[in-house]
Amino acid sequence: MDKAKSMMDKNASSGPYHVNNGQSQRGFHGHVAVAANGSCSSSAPFGLNIGPNSSSFESIHHLHRGDDVECNGSPAKRCRLRRRTESIRRSRPPFPWFGMDIGGTLVKLVYFEPVDITAEEEQEEVENLKSIRRYLTSNVAYGKTGVRDVHLELRNLTICGRTGNLHFIRFPTQAMPRFIQMGHDKNFSSLHTTLCATGGGAYKFENEFRTMANLELLKLDELDCLIHGLLYVDRVGFNGHPECYYFQNPSDTQSCMKTPCTLDNPFPMLLVNIGSGVSILAVYSENNYKRVTGTSLGGGTFLGLCCLLTGCETFEEALEMASKGDSTNVDKLVKDIYGGDYERFGLQGSAVASSFGHMMSKEKRDSISKEDLARATLVTITNNIGSIARMCAVNEKIERVVFVGNFLRINTVSTKLLAYAMDFWSKGQLRALFLEHEGYFGAVGALLELLKAAEDP
């Protein structure tokens, strides 16, 4: 069973992330990793938030403040490390640092805002770079549809030797042409930055970026990015709190409780990414995973059907309606057919026998509300994903199922339902885990690739 547990280490959870002290600066994983490694010599000198642990990963993306720090390493070793640091500094990509995930419905953008800019740097900084920074950090909404998820901001993060805040921004994929136009208008190409992009849109819009904005995309695989980003954010934590959570007592609506936990020793895990569609991955290590299957019944299906059935226009609207509706007016339950439980097969009377099954009858169609329909759509899609995920977990012999993707944003109905479904149908064998930055891991992963490129020139 899943070893995920709630945070126990108060020190670590409240520890600052940007302090350069080898002992106290670690993220909450550092603790464990140090103990395991027995030494922090490999990467601790750089005083980064996740330093000690990063040695266990082959790709070290997240480096490093340049300042020298105390270390037990020999002078020669220190020297080597310094040289390396220098080289990183030299090859560190120029600002701005973006990571972008262009999905079927939403574009997810992460932006690293450096807060350790020196006066010298400030002077050197070109005007449109400043204006980008100010525009992004001083607004929470961009145009009609762009949103910055302020509550998700990761503060005082040290990446690649720089300290800053990581901002999470999203806007509909439909607005992509306007976004590219903006890149042209702001003369983005003059900044000589590499725009790392993942998701299908990286391929679909590649040509438009090139011709309209004179920008060359670094296209990245979305599943690679997803996994790298997820593991990274989990490692650095959520401003001193765990990124990951689960539900205690998922089968009991009264005592069901969201509980933070860590993902330490995260492998193997079944990763269920619910965007417009759904991809299900079995992840055995950071770079060893396979896509087990996928389903086209995902967030796009929920929203698409809701729009058609209720006339709503946004995900928020659809969820709002769903929160007020009653799906049992729409769905046919086991008890509607058998009068109670179907004992021969151990099916509870309250189980859904046929989603939208009541809608076969005209009288019932005339008597339900839009809210009921929205709720039924949400429950149908969620249960189905749960069911497929559970079967995959059993087939792959993985007990920990991690659900991510923007379908779960502000969607406690679904997260609780998934938690319940995993627990109930597996008789407690499977545990559903969730992450606070639901849909942004691909974009984070893309950003990390930008910095990785800097690392090995």
Q: Please say if 222 is a catalytic residue.
A: yes
- 374's enclosing H/E stretch is helix 370-396
Nearer to other proteins, 330 or 419 (CB): 330
- Nearest approach in angstroms of CB 427 to other proteins is 14
* Stretch touching other proteins by CB under 8 A, among 52-60, 183-191, 261-269, 347-355: 347-355
Question: Which of 303, 401, 402, 450 touches other proteins by CB under 8 A?
Answer: 303
d(CA 318, CA 302): 9
Smallest distance, Å, CB 281 to other proteins?
Answer: 10
Residue 328 binding other proteins, by CB under 8 A: no
**Per rule CB under 8 A, is residue 297 in the interface with other proteins?**
yes
Helical segments of 198-333, H only: 200-204, 206-213, 222-236, 299-310, 315-324
Q: Binding of other proteins at residue 229 (CB under 8 A)?
A: no
- Tell me the closest approach of the beta carbon of residue 380 to other proteins, in angstroms: 7
User: What sign for the dihedral angle of Cα 121, 123, 127, 132?
Assistant: positive
Q: Which long-range contacts (CB under 8 A, 24 or more apart) does 207-213 make?
A: 208/176, 208/177, 208/180, 209/180, 209/183, 212/180, 212/181, 212/183, 212/184, 213/180, 213/181, 213/183, 213/184, 213/188, 213/189
The number of CA neighbours under 13 Å toward the Cβ of 36 is 12
Instruction: Give the interface segment with other proteins, choosing from 1-9, 163-171, 204-212, 427-435 (CB under 8 A).
Output: 204-212
Q: How far is CA 79 from the centre of its chain?
A: 37
CA 297 to chain centre: 20
Smallest distance, Å, CB 146 to other proteins?
A: 16
Q: Which H or E run contains 291?
A: strand 288-295
Question: Which one among 88, 215, 227, 352 touches other proteins, defined by CB under 8 A?
Answer: 352
Distance of alpha carbon 238 from alpha carbon 49, whole angstroms: 12
Query: CB under 8 A: which stretch of 20-28, 128-136, 352-360, 437-445 binds other proteins?
Result: 352-360
349 binds other proteins (CB under 8 A): no
336 membership: H or E segment, kind and range: helix 334-338
Binding flags for other proteins, 69-108, as an x/- string (CB under 8 A) = ----------------------------------xxx---
What minimum distance in Å lies between the beta carbon of 348 and other proteins? 13
Q: Which residues bind other proteins (CB under 8 A)?
A: 103-105, 172-174, 199-201, 203-206, 221, 223, 275-277, 291, 293, 295-301, 303-309, 330-332, 337, 344-345, 351-360, 362, 365, 373, 380, 383-384, 387-388, 391-392, 394-395
